[in-house]
Amino acid sequence: MPGITREEVAHLARLARLELSGDELDHFAGQLDDIIGAVARVAEVAEQDVPPTSHPLPLTNVMRADEVRPSLTPEQALSGAPAQEQQRFKVPQILGED
Amino acid sequence: MTVTELVSYEAALAGYDPVMGLEVHVELGTKTKMFCGCSTELGAEPNSQTCPTCLGLPGSLPVVNAIGIESAIKIGLALNCEIAEWCRFARKNYFYPDMPKNFQTSQYDEPIAFNGHLDVQLEDGEIFRVEIERAHMEEDTGKSTHVGGATGRIHGASHSLLDYNRAGIPLIEIVTKPITGAGERAPEVAKAYVAELRELIKALGVSEARMEMGQMRCDVNLSLMPKGSTTFGTRSETKNVNSLRSVERAARFEIQRHAAVLESGGTIVQETRHFHEEDGSTTAGRIKDNAEDYRYFPEPDLVPVAPAREWVEELRTTLPELPRLRRNRLREEWGVSEHDMQSILNAGAVELIVATIGAGAPSDQARKWWMGELARNANESGRALDELPITPEQVARVAALVASGDLNDKLARQVIEGVLAGEGDPDTVVDKRGLKVVSDEGALGTAVDEAIAGNAGIADKIRGGKVAAVGALVGAVMKATRGQADAARVKELILEKLGVSEG
Ligand SMILES: [Zn+2]
């Protein structure tokens, strides 16, 4: 039934690149399980003929013309970067590839 | 790293049937990105084509590019696909610095186009039908530069630098259904499919599809099943195979490697692999994440796309003649073999020849120059034919000068050399270099007389019936006139003067 295990929380934390301690895992697993359980109650009232909703507004086909608009300057784009080099965003060594 | 001793291609095919899946990413040629108005122009300064949307800043909202949708529908129609009546974008969540949003906006289980096919023609003319699973819309990632490791590789790098100009450029991913039944021709089918797809994309005008510039990239998924079996084996996914030749080599290598692993009692690991251009091999990359690890969910910031049937049908009427059919029509018009047409296609010369004929050249002349002198030059200088600094009009002009007798072939080659060297158009090169056939019969006659007098022995042999020896005298005259004489006319004059007739 709905719910989330401690192992699943640990897995999600790994995918999200979050380092959680054992205590934190216990703590969040309990909290997330409660939240999922609460949300799951929606399924009890929704009948088979109610399709899952991803968009609350009855809108489709919102498109824009293929026309160039001004971009940020590189200085503006990089203004929030913790580190930069050669007008590029500088990030720590990337692991786990190659 | 374990090195597997490859099984020979023949032995691999004797025991196993290959199954392939090809995933091709095409970067669309739109002026702006898929979800924002940033320019897609190549070669801009790093991070000069970004905005809050493609940088994933809080509060920004994406809006889809109408031409992006239109291009996707055109590709779908040209691939004989059904076009979705209603579909959504989805977030593919992953944490990697090439995507500042920490997700890629893509499509998951509701692609805009699905269930199609593309017929491809193999070198001997055989038609092979490749079934298309889906074509869906997504966006490109930023460009990483790895610093501190050897030659920009990630291995051993101390840190990486990101340029997000490319992040958000529209991509269409085209996925085949499993390709079975190709047997030993699987690598050839893979190459022919990617080649045909590239031609189709170019004909649709939705992208230039230049593989060498990363505008079109192919992932080759391959597995083997024992002959007679219908259960697919475990597949490997060779990523970013970026030339037609490499697609063929990667498929061939993986067939041999899989067979070797299976023959030695091992099992194939489902993993991504990297292709190495230098020796055509592949090496292991990361173990494939499960699809659910991407935690796809419908993109809440973009509303569904529901292409009206009238629009789809209108787009259908704008589709060009299919490249394969057009090629066959041209092949018949030009009177060339399947094999020659394939070479012309592989050389990227079809459109150039068509344009040269359009500029007035006979088709045999247009083919001769593009597939001869110019193909050689392109090859030697490592450029594509259409990157050479010569236009179809200029090639047609050279052909006209040859036809009128103003140039012979040798001089024409020098004219082309001059045009390629930037000396001007053909007429300018002719003037500047003084390249004109010596047609002054008086001057030519003198040169012929001198050649005969200077080579009395050879002249005697010719008089005595050894007509084949005339070549030496023609050579002497051509040398004396620095190649500017019409060799056929020189031969005529020599034989005439020696009182010999040919044949
Ligand atoms: Zn942008």
CA triple B185-B188-B193, angle to 5 deg:
120
Q: Is the pLDDT of residue B154 over 80?
A: no
- A74 located within any domain: no
Which among A60, A71, A76, A93 is the top mutation candidate for probing chain B, defined by the most B β-carbons within 10 Å of its own β-carbon?
A: A71
| Interval between CA B69 and ligand 1 midpoint (Å) | 17
B159–A91 C-beta distance less than 8 A? yes
- Average pLDDT value for chain B: 91
Instruction: State how far the Cα of B106 lies from the Cα of B299, in Å rounded to an integer.
Output: 9
Q: For residue B56, report the distance from its CA to the centre of ligand 1, in Å.
A: 9
- Shortest distance between the Cα of A94 and any Cα of chain B, in A, equals 7
pLDDT the model gives residue B22: 98
Report the alpha-carbon distance of residue B446 to residue B494 in Å, rounded: 11
Per-residue model confidence (pLDDT) at position A40: 87
DSSP reduced 3-state for B278: coil
Is A90's CB within 8 Å of B68's CB? no
Between B129-133, B358-362, B456-460, the lowest mean confidence (pLDDT) is in: B456-460
Residue B119 is predicted with a pLDDT of 96
Taking 90 as the threshold, does the pLDDT of residue A55 lie above it? Answer: no
Containing structural domain, residue A41: 6-45
**B10 CB contacts (<8 Å, ≥6 apart)?**
none
Measure B47 CA to nearest chain A CA, in Å.
5
Which residue is closest to A93 within chain B, CA to CA? B159
Judging contacts by C-beta atoms under 8 Å, the chain B residues touching residue A66 are: 30-32, 65-68
d(CA B437, CA B199): 41
Rounded distance between C-alpha atoms, residue B290 and residue B133, angstroms: 20
pLDDT class for A98, splitting at 50, 70, 90? very low
Compute and round to an integer the Cα radius of gyration of chain A: 22
User: Length of chain B, please?
Assistant: 503
Q: Is B46's CB within 8 Å of A80's CB?
A: no
Task: Test B50 with A60 for CB contact under 8 angstroms.
Answer: no
Please give the residue of chain A at the shortest CA–CA distance from B299.
A54
**What is the distance in A from the centroid of ligand 1 to the CA of B78?**
30
CA distance B90 to B300: 8
Beta bridge pairs of residue B23: B175, B219
Would you state the pLDDT for residue B290? 61
Nearest to A64 among B65, B94, B162 (CB): B65
Least confident of A81-90, B76-85, B292-301, B386-395: B292-301
Alpha-carbon gap: A17 to the closest alpha carbon of chain B (Å): 7
Question: Residue B163 — φ and ψ, nearest 5°?
Answer: -115, 120
Closest CA to A71 of B167, B92, B407, B253: B167
Q: Give the model's pLDDT for residue B424.
A: 94
DSSP string, A43-91: HHH--TTS---S-SS-----EE-S-------HHHHHTT-S-EETTEEEE
Query: What residues contact residue B324 under an 8 Å CB cut-off, 6+ apart?
Result: B119, B120, B121, B196, B199
Q: Among B46, B63, B97, whose Cβ lies nearest the Cβ of A91? A: B97
* Angle at the Cα of B278 from the Cα atoms of B272 and B280, rounded to 5 degrees: 50
What pTM does this model have?
0.80
Judged by CB atoms within 8 Å, which residues 60-89 of B form the interface with A?
Answer: 63-69, 86, 88
Measured CA to CA in angstroms, residue B403 lies from B365, B395, B419 at distances of 10, 12, 19
Whether A25 is in a domain gets the answer yes
CA dist B306 and A57 (Å) reads 14
- Beta-bridged to residue B220, according to DSSP, are B22, B238
Is A37 among the domain residues? yes
Cα–Cα distance for residue pair B407/B451, rounded to 1 Å: 22
Indicate which CATH number applies to the domain containing A21: 1.10.20.60
Residue A10 maps to a domain: yes
pLDDT at residue B378 in the model: 92
Cβ pair A98:B154 closer than 8 A: yes
- B205 contact A CB<8A: no
Burial class (CB in 10 A: 0-12, 13-18, 19+), B410: middle
The pLDDT of residue B152 is 60
Ramachandran category for residue B222: left, alpha or beta (phi over 0 → left; psi -120 to 50 → alpha) = beta
Tell me how far apart the alpha carbons of residues B45 and B160 are, in angstroms, rounded to a whole number.
17
For an interface test with B, the pick among A11, A14, A79, A93 (most B C-beta atoms closer than 10 Å) comes out as A93
Distance B63 CA to ligand 1 centre (A): 10
Any domain includes A15: yes
> Does residue B305 belong to the interface with chain A, where contact is any CB pair within 8 Å?
yes
Minimum-distance CB partner of B145 among A55, A88, A92: A88
In this structure, the dihedral spanned by the alpha carbons of residues B224, B230, B231 and B234, taken in order and rounded to 10 degrees, is 20
Cβ contact, residue pair B298, A55, below 8 Å: yes
Specify whether the CB–CB gap between B365 and B334 falls below 8 A. no
Inter-chain residue contact B163 with A88, CB threshold 8 Å:
yes
**Domains of chain B (ranges plus CATH)?**
3-315 (no CATH), 321-433 (no CATH), 441-498 (1.10.10.410)
What residue of A is the nearest CA neighbor of B286?
A: A97
Model pLDDT, residue B2: 54
Residue B402 CA to residue B424 CA, distance in Å, equals 18
Q: Is A80 a member of any domain?
A: no
Cβ distance of B49 and A71 shorter than 8 Å: yes
DSSP state, B372?
T
- Flag if B31 and A61 touch (Cβ within 8 Å): no
d(CA B163, nearest CA chain A) in Å:
5
What separation in Å is there between the alpha carbon of B52 and the centre of ligand 1? Answer: 6
- Per the structure block, which two tokens stand in for B317? 């009427």
Cβ A6 vs Cβ A29: under 8 Å: yes
Q: Pairing between strand A88-92 and B159-163? A: antiparallel
What number is the ipTM of this complex? 0.88
- Is the CB of residue B282 less than 8 Å from the CB of residue B275? yes
Phi-psi region of A60 (alpha: psi -120 to 50; beta: other; left: phi over 0): beta
Q: Could you read off the pLDDT of B407-437 as tens digits, one per residue?
A: 888 889 999 999 999 999 999 999 898 887 7
CB–CB contacts below 8 A, A to B: 139
Contact B261, B267 (CB under 8 A): yes
Residue with more model confidence, B123 or B15:
B15
Q: Is the Cα dihedral B156, B162, B165, B166 positive or negative?
A: positive
Q: Is the pLDDT of residue B292 over 90?
A: no
Q: Which pLDDT belongs to residue B372?
A: 93
Residue A98 lies in a domain: no
Paired tokens of B263? 């023959």
- Residue B1 — very low, low, confident or very high, per pLDDT cuts 50/70/90? very low
Residue A91 lies in a domain: no
Among residues B387, B374, B383, B319, the alpha carbon closest in space to that of B344 is found at: B374
The model's pLDDT over B19-52, given as tens digits with 9 standing for 90+, comes to 999 999 999 999 999 999 999 999 999 999 999 9
- Rounded CA-CA distance B368/B374 in Å is 9
Q: How many domains does chain A have?
A: 1
- Residues B270, B236 contacting (CB under 8 angstroms): yes
Contacts of B36 in chain A (CB under 8 A): 69
Question: What is the tens place of the pLDDT at every residue in A5-51?
Answer: 999 999 989 888 889 999 999 999 999 999 999 988 888 887 778 87
